[in-house]
Amino acid sequence: MATDMASMTTPVNPRSGNLVVWAIVVLIALYAICAAGGLPQQATEMAVSARHHHVAMSAPDSHAAEGEHHGGQQGLAPPYWTVIPFVLLLGAIAVLPLLSKTEHWWENNLNRFKVAACLGLLTLGYYAFLHHSPVDAHWPAHKTIAPAESAVQSGFVGAILGNALLAEYVPFIVLLFSLYTIAGGIRIEGDLQANPLTNASFMAVGGLLASFIGTTGAAMLLIRPLLETNRERKHVAHTVIFFIFVVCNCGGCLLPIGDPPLFLGYLEGVEFTWTLGLWEPWLFVNGLLLLTYCIADQFYYYRTETKKDIRRDITQTRRLRISGLAINGPLLLGVVLAVALLDPNKALPGTKWHSWMFLREMVQLTLVAVSLYFGSKLIRKNNSFNYHAIIEVAALFFGIFLCMQPALQILAEKGQLLAKSLNPAGFFWATGALSSFLDNAPTYLVFFKTAQTPPAIGATAGVPEMILIGISLGAVFMGAMTYIGNGPNFMVKAIAEKSGVKMPSFFGYMAYSCVILLPILLLTQWRYLSSDDANGPTSVASPPAAVAAPLH
């Protein structure tokens, strides 16, 4: 995706930062007014009540009723042609930057938003005028919306907007915005020798941090010093691509806070430390990626650099120096804790209190305001920090979240039939393939739900151990297959282009992922998911004991 280099390289105006702070203050004031009226509290009560009802329906003696419920839901999904707006949006992201007539037009984020919003409106138009089966709404609580007798199905439109924007888009973009903005106030300054080992070390550290501060936090923290270290080199795009593979995706599978789908699994009853048992495939995949990078860079890319550039890289080195960490480090940790603890569906540990709806997002935005107001303006200026990259993600994913709703509903309905024919490897590829193009969090949840069985030995939260491993690894690892597979992928690409790195197109990136990542994933399946026994791991070290029912 091409970017507007002028806007990308211009640091944010200090007044813009103040405007963002004031906008956050206004949002917090509006939220306080709503809280005084009891609105977020009521939304939380609805969500908790619906969740307790779901747990009761999931009990062993309720499976007959649950089966009837699922049976009654058959035929609710839209027809297959309703995914056309989603396909067109993916096509626009892939093709418009490559055409000479649209290349510069597409560089403007407003034009990106126009395309995304128009296609999103087409999807809403289908639900308003052409859809006549009940629709499942998921915000603030699960319920089924029946067709109305009027010509315009406003209830369907409200349900889809709630599902796409309130339940998914707002938490998604607020988290990315928070991590992006706070990390932009930290500067890791220096210029190390940009050899294969140095670059691989950046990725290894980022891959480890990704599981503890999230893939977005790790990516935003380390992409700028990596680019600064490589500024003397001409061939840098492949380094950024491997960074996306490792730091933005594959490194985030050791803890639930590393990647959103794993956090959903935690909320569904998977023990917090269960994912630590995935350390072998985590080490296997990331180790092979780093080894592949070192070999490719050492024996091809590094040798194609000019002697003059290599000499400059060796002589113009500076030690790493970190600034802005004292204030923004704790704020990053605060964002992670807010995500982990302030989920409305889960009681605060040690209490029976459930967070108010959107309180988590308000806390995150408050931390952003603290970072912008009290953090160093000079550090942000030296980082060439601006909001172009996050606005690009916000504009495109606004349409993506709307347009993918029919695809998710089709998957939810057909998932039961699909799951019956899948072994652990099948769950790995099915979850991963769809996570490459859809949001990997709801995709994970659909397959998680379809794989649940009555409590049994070897099951974690009702899902057989090996199948849960396949779903988890597929959702996390294959988010690296495309630019849209995971939110940080887009932001890293945009920041790299801001720094003058010519990144491959949508399909060009997929060529890298298919040639490099796909064979490693095939080896992962062979090494860890080839057993016919779906009740226990063969090669994966047994994760810590997990509960068999949701933690409520």
Separation CA 474–CA 469 (nearest Å): 8
Residue 24: the pLDDT is: 96
How many CB atoms neighbour CB 377 within 10 A? Answer: 14
- pLDDT for residue 512 is more than 80: yes
Residue 550: the pLDDT is: 33
In which band, very low, low, confident or very high, does the pLDDT at 267 lie, cut at 50, 70 and 90?
A: low
- pLDDT for residue 538 is more than 70: no
Paired tokens of 414: 């057909």
Separation CA 189–CA 226 (nearest Å): 10
**H or E stretch at 322:** strand 318-323
| Mean pLDDT (whole number) for 507-530 | 95
Residue 453: the pLDDT is: 65
| Mean pLDDT (whole number) for 120-142 | 92
- pLDDT for residue 90 is more than 90: no
Residue 533: the pLDDT is: 45
- To 10 degrees, the CA torsion angle through 257, 262, 268, 269? -80
Residue 54: the pLDDT is: 60
User: Domain residues of the chain, as ranges?
Assistant: 12-528
Higher pLDDT, residue 365 or 232: 365
Separation CA 56–CA 474 (nearest Å): 29
Residue 72: the pLDDT is: 40
In which band, very low, low, confident or very high, does the pLDDT at 534 lie, cut at 50, 70 and 90?
A: very low
State the chain's mean pLDDT as an integer.
84
Beta strands of 181-266 (E only): which ranges? Answer: 187-191
- Per the CB < 8 A criterion, the answer to whether 461 and 269 are in contact is yes
- Among 104-108, 170-174, 446-450, name the one with the lowest average pLDDT: 446-450
- pLDDT for residue 102 is more than 60: yes
Collect all residues with Cβ–Cβ distance below 8 Å to 34 and sequence separation of at least 6: 40
Higher pLDDT, residue 218 or 63: 218
- pLDDT for residue 176 is more than 90: no
- pLDDT for residue 354 is more than 80: yes
- Per the CB < 8 A criterion, the answer to whether 528 and 264 are in contact is no
- Per the CB < 8 A criterion, the answer to whether 207 and 250 are in contact is yes
| Pairing outcome for strands 187-191 and 143-145 | unpaired
- pLDDT for residue 103 is more than 60: yes
Q: List residues bridging with 518 in a β-sheet.
A: none
Residue 454: the pLDDT is: 57
- Per the CB < 8 A criterion, the answer to whether 510 and 416 are in contact is no
In which band, very low, low, confident or very high, does the pLDDT at 107 lie, cut at 50, 70 and 90?
A: confident
In which band, very low, low, confident or very high, does the pLDDT at 501 lie, cut at 50, 70 and 90?
A: very high
| Mean pLDDT (whole number) for 195-201 | 93
Higher pLDDT, residue 260 or 231: 231
- pLDDT for residue 2 is more than 70: no
- pLDDT for residue 58 is more than 70: no
- pLDDT for residue 326 is more than 90: yes
In which band, very low, low, confident or very high, does the pLDDT at 455 lie, cut at 50, 70 and 90?
A: low
Residue 476: the pLDDT is: 95
- Per the CB < 8 A criterion, the answer to whether 528 and 535 are in contact is no
Residue 12: the pLDDT is: 61
Residue 69: the pLDDT is: 41
Residue percentage of the chain with pLDDT more than 70 = 86
Paired tokens of 216: 């977005």
